[in-house]
Copies of this chain bind each other. A is one copy, B any other.
Amino acid sequence: MKTPAQLQELISKRLNELNFQTNPATLYEPIRYMLSLGGKRMRPVLLLMSTELFDGDINDALSAAIGIEVFHNFTLLHDDIMDNAPLRRSQPTVHSKWNSNIAILSGDAMFVKSCQLMMSVPNAALRDVLDTFNETALEVCEGQQYDMDFEKKESVSIDQYLNMIRLKTAVLLGCSLKVGALIAKASKEDAQHIYDFGVNLGLAFQIQDDVLDVYANAEKFGKQVGGDILSNKKTYLLLTALQFSNVIIKEDLLKWINLPIMPDQYSAKVEAVTKIYNLLGVREQAEKKMNELYKDAFDHLNAIPISSDKKMQLQKLAESLLDREV
């Protein structure tokens, strides 16, 4: 079985070999650019590991793995337009390097390309793979819409938040693993177990992201600590704090949220909100939820009747995903 690093190399090579048309350049250059920005290629790695876990041939799965990565990058490209984001991996986003119209259309073309790449799976798996892929793609759209809706919504419950991150992020990890399993002719039950493993892992990962935003070691985290607090992002931490605070603390928290603040008050706001989080123990609650999800994930992995030796690579990868420095 290949290590994640070996799989990443395979994926990187195949991504570089992707033979996009040349013209119109304004359609295909942004696609090449977007795919050149890098990333951990986590989704195709998971897909290939799943194929190997179920004794499939990764040559049958490599194009579909690339398809999932192209699809993921399409969603990032369109999300960047919607979020009006200037940078992606420290480089200009497509819509700021070119323009919104080019970003919309090259995103559309990337989506078609991802569908074409998914077609490379063996005939026996084609219908199941595409059904899984299409269903997931629609869910990812739903997740992004909920995310945008939540920005304008007064009150969001923790369950609504969990459903949003499940759709926006977690299902694509589950889908990657399930597609890898389907290509390897895994049973329906096992394909579902590996899907649920991925979804629960994705949820845990996303909650960890929320925790890291506040409690990470700034240098190692690589971005500003407290960014979510400053933008009033409805994270697992904030929603938990709002749900479990008494009237007085809640009022204090809402004051910081609703107060328009100047840059010289940024650190005061981050400090004050973090203090409230600490008072309420929301970090501990988030970590408790993460651990539950992590356990659920591994229950599903363990339910697959394959020797634990063979699951080692996937287990190590999952552990490393959630072993980010706080």
Query: Using a CB–CB distance below 8 Å, which chain A residues touch chain B?
Result: 21, 23-24, 26-27, 78, 81-82, 100-102, 104-109, 111-113, 115-116, 119, 123, 126-127, 130-131, 134-135, 137-138, 141-142, 144-146, 148-149
CA gap between A45 and B137 in the complex, in Å: 28
The verdict on A141 contacting B82 (CB below 8 Å), with A111-B111, A115-B134, A119-B127 known, is no
CA gap between A149 and B145 in the complex, in Å: 30
State whether A104 touches B130 (Cβ < 8 A): no
| This protein's copies in its complex | 2
CA gap between A228 and B21 in the complex, in Å: 31
CA gap between A119 and B126 in the complex, in Å: 10
Chain A interface SS verdict (over half)? helix
CA gap between A123 and B130 in the complex, in Å: 13
CA gap between A134 and B145 in the complex, in Å: 25
Question: Taking the nearest CB of chain B, how far is it from the CB of A62, in angstroms?
Answer: 19
Contacts of A119 in B (CB 8 A): 127, 130-131, 134
CA gap between A116 and B133 in the complex, in Å: 10
Contacts of A131 in B (CB 8 A): 119
Partner of A82, one of B24, B78, B104: B104
CA gap between A24 and B148 in the complex, in Å: 10
State whether A134 touches B105 (Cβ < 8 A): no
CA gap between A27 and B82 in the complex, in Å: 14
The verdict on A123 contacting B127 (CB below 8 Å), with A24-B142, A24-B145, A144-B105 known, is yes
